[in-house]
Amino acid sequence: MTDEVKDMSAIRRSMDLLDRRLMKVAEDMERSQMAEYVDLLNRPFSLIWRNLLAGTARGVGIAVGFTFFAATIVYVLQMLGALNLPIIGDYIADIVRIVQHQLDVKTY
């Protein structure tokens, strides 16, 4: 009878260990939001809509960022052009003139 008790005890321990591991796997899957991902894959129009919005936001962000970057570069070039540096000043002045001409020609 003691062998049966030992066997039952060993089975109980292995079942408890298995239960803890399964609970850990379930918690990990819940943390990774696997259900939401599968739900999103089952609704392709929702996936397309989210990707369209994300792409549009990325594009607008890039356009605004590039605009600020280009304006900063033009401003710095104007400041350098005002210093009348011997060699670089002529190139900078040409670039600034070209940019200003383009801005004057294209009115939106």
- What is the mean pLDDT, run by run of 10 residues, along the chain of 108 residues? 78 91 88 81 90 96 94 84 72 82 75
Question: So what's the pLDDT on residue 1?
Answer: 60
- What's the confidence (pLDDT) of residue 83? 74
Does residue 85 come out as left (phi exceeding 0), alpha (psi in the -120 to 50 range) or beta?
beta
Q: What is the pLDDT of residue 107?
A: 60
Alpha-carbon distance 30 to 17, whole Å? 20
Q: What pLDDT does 63 receive?
A: 95
Tell me, what's the pLDDT at 38? 82
| Phi, psi for residue 43 in degrees, rounded to 5 | -120, 85
- Whole-prediction pTM value? 0.49
